[in-house]
Amino acid sequence: MKKKNKAKGFSFREIRPVEWERGRLRDILRRKMRMRRVLVVGDVGVDRYTIGSVERISPEAPVPIVLVEEEQLKLGLAANVADNVQALGGVPLLLGVVGDDRIVHDFKKLLRATRISAQHLVTDGKRRTVLKERIVSDRQQLLRVDYETIGPLSSHTESQVLKTFKNLLKDCDVVVIEDYHKGLLSLDLAASLISAARKAGKCVAIDPNAKTPLAWYEGATLLTPNTREAESLSGIKIRDENTLAEAGFFILDETSAEHVVITRGKEGMALFSAGSRTIELIPTYAREVYDVSGAGDTVISVLALALSGGANISEAAIIGNLAAGVEVGKRGTATVTPDEVEMALDFFAGARAF
């Protein structure tokens, strides 16, 4: 269905499950995404969940005492993207900067457990390996503690990252740049990474950060901001379809990207493509929302794998939206499998309500 925006000349087309080519989507998910090699570059780290119960308040200060029952360690930041790529049947090549500290040992142990290579990591002894610790009780997050070094890389470390990146380009099918604004990216490094990848004929998908200047992403193939990031990058408050369109097209034009996919939480996705004034709207597909952290990592993992396997942006976004719907039903940062996504595909494609 199309809805004309006469004031701005945009049109909106909502893609509903009745329009899906289920056989084609299954083929992309099961065959075309499989074994695609994804070079993931960005800030990396560990997510630690300290889980327990609260039965009393501390006599030392008016704060709850958490009786720890369980601790969980998970791959975080760009490493979670690599983990998602692996779970979906792809092959991640992970490039990031770590410190020479005790956390890096936990990080590399997690990588080994998920069969992701640590050989492309760059070590900088003057930086911390990122650790985000979440204190959780009765499914509620009480506190988050971040251990990290915020600030630009040294010129030596930055040159190591770029050299490693260029060496890996020949071995990958698509590039994902994850910007968590922890210091790995700079204007010069971002421009060098994008330029090298595009010269090598690789699609460059970027998960941007609200704090990063939009100019850093110029030349990307695809950008996947959420609503808050799209507002910050464009300087436009998204209140309705008009402002959504203005923000999306602004980002598209300013970066010369081929596609911009704005992830909108419960409102789904909005797809913008160069040369088109039609914005494709994809409703959200989540049966239960438990925790939204990590959903963006799942989306960009699917988009990168699907596009590198020959899917068009609409097909990639539909699968990405389904995968995100599965991910938000899990606690914390999590991965999804092709089986889970296919079950969601069958469920929503067969639901009369859609």
Catalytic residue among 106, 297, 339, 346: 297
Residue 332 confidence (pLDDT): 66
297 is catalytic: yes
Question: Quick one: DSSP state of residue 31?
Answer: I
Q: Is the pLDDT of residue 351 over 70?
A: no
* pLDDT per residue as tens digits for the range 261-290: 999 988 889 999 999 999 999 988 766 655
Cα separations in angstroms, 333 against 26, 185, 228, 324: 25, 23, 19, 11
d(CA 301, CA 175): 10
Domains with residue ranges and CATH for the chain = 2-45+76-127+150-349 (3.40.1190.20)
* pLDDT per residue as tens digits for the range 98-131: 999 999 999 999 999 999 999 999 999 999 999 9
Angle ∠(80,332,71) on CA atoms, nearest 5: 100
Place 8 in a pLDDT band, splitting at 50, 70 and 90.
low
* pLDDT per residue as tens digits for the range 310-330: 999 999 999 999 998 888 777
Q: Is the pLDDT of residue 252 over 90?
A: yes
d(CA 144, CA 332): 13
* pLDDT per residue as tens digits for the range 155-203: 999 999 999 999 999 999 999 999 999 999 999 999 999 999 999 999 9
pLDDT > 90 in the chain, percent = 81
E strands in the chain? 2-5, 10-14, 37-42, 44-57, 64-77, 91-95, 97-98, 122-123, 130-137, 140-147, 174-178, 203-207, 222-223, 259-263, 269-273, 278-282
